Amino acid sequence: MSKIYVVGHVNPDTDAIASAIGYAWFRNAKGDGEVVAARAGPLNAQTAWVLDRLELSPPEFLADASPRFEVVVHRYDTVTPDQTLRDAWAIANRTGTVAPVVDSNGIPFGLISGFSLFRSLSNLVGPRLELQDIRLQELFDQPCREVADTEVPKFLSNSRIREGLPRVLREERNDFWVVDQEGRYVGICRQRDLLNPPRLQIILVDHNEVSQSIRSLDEADLLEVLDHHRVNNPPTRLPIRFRVDPVGSTSTLVSERIEDNGMSAPPAIAGLLLAGVFSDTLRLNSPTTTDRDHRACERLGRWAFVGGSPLENESTESFGEAVLNAAAGLASREADDVISSDLKIYESAGVKFGIAQAEVTDLREVDDHLSELNEALDNLIEARGLSFALLMVTDIVDGSSRIVIRRAPALLYELPYKRLSDETYEARGVVSRKKQLVPVILALLEG
């Protein structure tokens, strides 16, 4: 059974990482095969702090879902260039096709294949037809370096098959090297496997929109969605499990799934999911918070705050406060980082726009950094081809936001917030992008 990836949205926040790790743990523990968590981008400061606090490793980075050479590689046994063709023949008999000749540093030298054998034979025999002159023994005593085809193309194991395929199709050969970043032997891939590579198996958590997902999602098999955002998902080929509930965090849904199966998460995983709930709900204070999120915190706390846990001496209050404080303010970060680390791209009514969110403990930080933030938003609009972009700076203590907008279309002049002299908006009581800000913007754009 092939590996299944659980991955959250790009520009991952703590809930995206926590729900991916938590759900992958759950599916593994349930015995659903090899399920691994992935991340669609770099960790933000809060998530990095949480993982470190819980002594957990970050999930592996998955930039896109396009199949890579590594998924079709055969790690065949090898011979060295000085071994004889006899040794290579033994290997080719077992692989049923080729014998790779690899030097003592692990660097591919050449391939012994039907193609190379025929070529070397025709060199040996030339135009002579008196074949009785050459004994088979002599043929098999030749060193592999004489017989190997040394011009076989090499492909990096983590490069995309889609991009290598035109080259493969131009070749008369059927077998190719797969090498690592250092150019060392990883294995052999065959043309027929490259034409129809296995598709990546993907579970999306904490998002369902393609514009917020890893690239080339259409080249993967989508198995399941577990989320708490608005639905904007493309059609699938097969029926899939699709669960989107309006709760405060995807971590809440993961904890429910674990409990529903009569299981409990290990302390570090429970602590991570708890951080996911705290982060998304601003410690159960956001208007997105539901009773189910409160119950998730009780359940996760019961699993996390136990003897021997990294959170042994913490409580819901102390850990919640530490998680929120780990979200860096504006002062210590570059404006580009503030804009890009929690950015979501939306498309509606033919308009593509971005909304970034940052958390602070004092909204006066916005005044100190406004010109850099404006510039960073302008750069973002250019770089991503957006119509407009917003930054929502949320005061997690006071429960309010300041909204910085660049290139706002006329329709957005109707935003129901107080416009300040510096052209930013003061949005009292607004802390949730998905529940409070996005619906208002979509309503204005769609008329």
Which parts of this chain interact with Mn ion (CB under 5 A)? 15, 206, 250, 280
- For tokens 């300040």, the residue is 420
Which 3 state secondary structure label does DSSP give 383? helix
CB of residue 229 to Mn ion, shortest distance in Å:
7
Q: How far apart are the first and last CA of the chain?
A: 48
Outline where DSSP puts E strands in 206-303: 221-227, 241-244
Nearer to Mn ion, 143 or 287 (CB): 287
Q: How many CB atoms lie within 10 A of CB 399?
A: 15
CB of residue 407 to Mn ion, shortest distance in Å:
27
Half-sphere exposure of 342 (CA within 13 A, CB side): 27
* Partners of 390 in beta bridges: 355, 405
Nearer to Mn ion, 201 or 286 (CB): 286
Nearer to Mn ion, 95 or 232 (CB): 232
Nearer to Mn ion, 113 or 286 (CB): 286
Q: Torsion angle, CA of 149/89/105/184, rounded to 10 degrees?
A: 60
CB of residue 46 to Mn ion, shortest distance in Å:
13
CA–CA dist 434, 230 (Å, integer): 8
Nearest residue relative to Mn ion (C-beta) = 15
Which 3 state secondary structure label does DSSP give 409? coil
CB of residue 51 to Mn ion, shortest distance in Å:
17
Nearer to Mn ion, 15 or 359 (CB): 15
CB of residue 361 to Mn ion, shortest distance in Å:
21
Sort strands 351-360 and 343-348 into parallel, antiparallel or unpaired.
antiparallel
CB of residue 297 to Mn ion, shortest distance in Å:
15
Nearer to Mn ion, 250 or 255 (CB): 250
CA–CA dist 134, 3 (Å, integer): 51
